[in-house]
Structure 1
Amino acid sequence: MKILVVDDMPLMRHVLINMLRKLNYHDIVEATDGIQALSLLQNQGYDLVITDLHMPKMDGKTLLNRIRDDQELAEIPVLMITCEDSSTAIKEIIAAKVSGFIVKPFNLNVLDSQLKKVMKLES
């Protein structure tokens, strides 16, 4: 499974990639923001996008909307990671057809559980 990890913070990408590797996911590509992620998505095939919500240039919600609006990309599962606790913001992301949601801070078990739910929904 090829996974695109999108986060503007190098440390967060590093932590997430290490967690994914512990869960035996090894085909992982990084992007620093939604613009770079969209470019990668349009040029390569991915099975899953894991993105932060708050990023400069293009945030996770805009990236999610762009993915869902693109016929070629619309079916890719998107797992959103955020420290957002506003119910309004969370409802907007759910309405935008996010596949799964993780609130920071989280651990390996939470990530594993969400990945299993998201991949089950897609199969």
Structure 2
Amino acid sequence: MRALVVDDTMCLRHILLHMLRDFGFAEVEEAADGMHALKLVKAHPFDLVITDLNMPKLDGLALLKQIRSNPFTTDLPVLMITSAADKEHLTQAIRADVSGFLAKPFNQNALEKQLKRIGFKTKPEKVS
């Protein structure tokens, strides 16, 4: 499986990259803003996009709308990360057909729950 993590905070991108690899995503790419992410989505097939809502250049909502407007990516699952309890932006994301939300701060269990909710099977934890 191939995923794209989009966030302007490098630390959060790297945390998500490790979490996704733990869940069996073999290929995980990253972008620091929505413009870079949009270029990657247009150039490569992805199974999942996880994007922050608030970013420079092109925010997560605008990225989501661009993904949904392209017939080749309209069904691409997109999880939105937000720290804002901004009801207006959340409503706009729902109207734009976001696949799910992750509220900051989140943990691996919250990510796994969202992945399973949208149909991804996560790798079982290793028992030692």
State the TM-score, normalized to the length of structure 1. Answer: 0.93
1:17-96 superposed matches below 5 A: 17-96=17-96
Distance 1:59 1:119 in 2: 25
Letter in 1 for 2:54: H
Moved over 4 A (4+): none
What is the aligned length? 120
Counterpart contact for 1:2–1:46, Cα < 8 Å: yes
Letter in 2 for 1:105: P
The match for 2:110 is 110
Kindly state the Cα deviation for residue 118 of structure 1 after the two structures are TM-superposed: 1.5
Distance 2:113 2:81 in 1: 14
For 1:20-60, what per-residue CA distance to the aligned partner results, in whole angstroms no more than 9, with x for missing partners?
12222231011111111111111111011000000000000
Counterpart contact for 1:4–1:49, Cα < 8 Å: yes
Structure exhibiting the larger radius of gyration computed from Cα positions: 2
Unaligned 5+ segments in structure 2 are 121-128
Tell me, what secondary structure is at the counterpart of 1:119? Answer: coil
Provide the alpha-carbon RMSD of the alignment.
1.1
State the TM-score, normalized to the length of structure 2. Answer: 0.89
Structure whose residues are more often helix by fraction: 1
Q: Percent identity?
A: 47
Counterpart contact for 1:64–1:96, Cα < 8 Å: yes
